[in-house]
Amino acid sequence: MEVKTLKKNKTSVYFLTDKQELETLIRKTYEWIETKKTKVDFDVVENKKGDKYVALNVKTHNKILAELKNSNFFTQQFIDNYNKIALKIGENLKTNKIEYFVGELPPYGSDSNPWCDCQDNPESYWKTLKINDLKIQNNKATFYWTWTEWKETPTYKVTAVKENGIWRIAVLDGFDYKSFTKI
């Protein structure tokens, strides 16, 4: 952290580097995801028989959209993409383009958690997240995060955008619309 002392009134002003700001953003975001965000991402509704999912739970989905927005961690671009994925899942379930049976893995996304592209993670992993391969151009940053807890760690791509002087997450690798919704 760079420290500058102003001579007149001996006030110290601290300047965080973009890398420090982005690492803090990622750590706080993942702590929020794991401790405060509604756990299920794309909550679905069962049919009357209880053997198949037939629709997106719109009430839960709208609650999550509000949580994402109110967290101030995400750009509108991220929220819009998340919403587009959810609505496509709901549409595909309603029109039977995909079948999702109770007790089975969802036919959308991958077999891993889209927030980390992992199936398991260390406890409080957000405390050990590190940023690698940071590239900043204008107000757009791309980087990969890893955690330092385990030898086997995901390498997860993130794009962040600086809006009004504040970094926010615009793209997370696990929420790629085409791969998440492909049939």
pLDDT of residue 118: 86
Please determine, for residue 5, whether its predicted confidence score (pLDDT) is greater than 90. no
Residue 156 CB-half CA count within 13 A: 26
Identity at 15, one-letter amino acid code = F
Please determine, for residue 91, whether its predicted confidence score (pLDDT) is greater than 90. yes
Q: Which two tokens stand for residue 7?
A: 């001579």
- Other C-beta atoms closer than 10 Å to the C-beta of 93 total 24
Please determine, for residue 166, whether its predicted confidence score (pLDDT) is greater than 60. yes
Which of 81-90, 113-122, 133-142 is predicted least confidently? 113-122
Please determine, for residue 15, whether its predicted confidence score (pLDDT) is greater than 70. no
* More confident call, 3 vs 148: 148
| Measured distance CA(57)–CA(84) in Å, rounded | 14
Which of 80-89, 96-105, 113-122, 166-175 is predicted least confidently? 113-122
Give the residue-averaged pLDDT of 48-63: 97
pLDDT of residue 10: 55
CA nearest to 115, candidates 87, 73, 76, 151 = 73
Give the residue-averaged pLDDT of 51-67: 97
Which of 11-20, 51-60, 113-122, 143-152 is predicted least confidently? 11-20
Residue 124 region by backbone torsions, left for phi larger than 0, else alpha for psi between -120 and 50, else beta? left
Instruction: State the chain's mean pLDDT as an integer.
Output: 90
CA distance to 7, 129, 147, 161, per residue, from 168 (Å): 34, 16, 20, 5
pLDDT interval class at 8 (50, 70, 90): low
* Cα-trace Rg, the chain: 19
